[in-house]
Amino acid sequence: FRFKDSLAEDLQRADLVISHAGAGSCLETLEKGKPLIVVINEKLMNNHQLELAKQLHRDGHVLCSNCSTLVETLQSMDLSTLKPFPPGQPEKFALFLDKVVGFQ
């Protein structure tokens, strides 16, 4: 894709999403309940995407691959093993913030 303001329509129509492991891309896809394969770019230095991808994989929410193993991942994937991503709970964060700043 070239730059788009939003991928919401594309995500809504997708049966499977293959993406880099950027936080926004991962969370938007998982919040829509779409199966996700994250492709890690191992050539990036200080690759923060790797940490996120590994944690989401450990938690059972995504499949992980790199460019050289993507075809194998697609051929052997079992999307039924993926766990739904839990919805966000902003109220918990708000309560935490209230406590930190002394509103409680």
Q: Regarding beta strands 63-66 and 17-19, do their DSSP bridges make them parallel or antiparallel, or are they unpaired? A: unpaired
Whether residue 51 is contained in a domain is answered as yes
| Residue-range definition of the domain harbouring residue 57 | 7-101
Asked, for residue 1, whether it belongs to a domain, the answer is: no
Q: What is the pLDDT of residues 31-80, one digit of tens each?
A: 999 999 999 877 776 777 888 899 999 999 999 999 999 999 999 999 99
Most confident listed range (1-10, 19-28, 84-93)? 19-28
Flag whether 21 is in a domain: yes
d(CA 103, CA 6): 37
Task: Identify whether 76 is part of a domain.
Answer: yes
Residue 39 neighbours by CB distance under 10 Å: 19
Number of domains in the chain: 1
In a domain, 48, yes or no: yes
Residues in the chain: 104
Provide the whole-model pTM. Answer: 0.80
Per the CB < 8 A criterion, the answer to whether 28 and 11 are in contact is yes
The sign of the dihedral angle between the CA atoms of 96, 102, 103, 104 is: positive
pLDDT at 85 over 90: yes
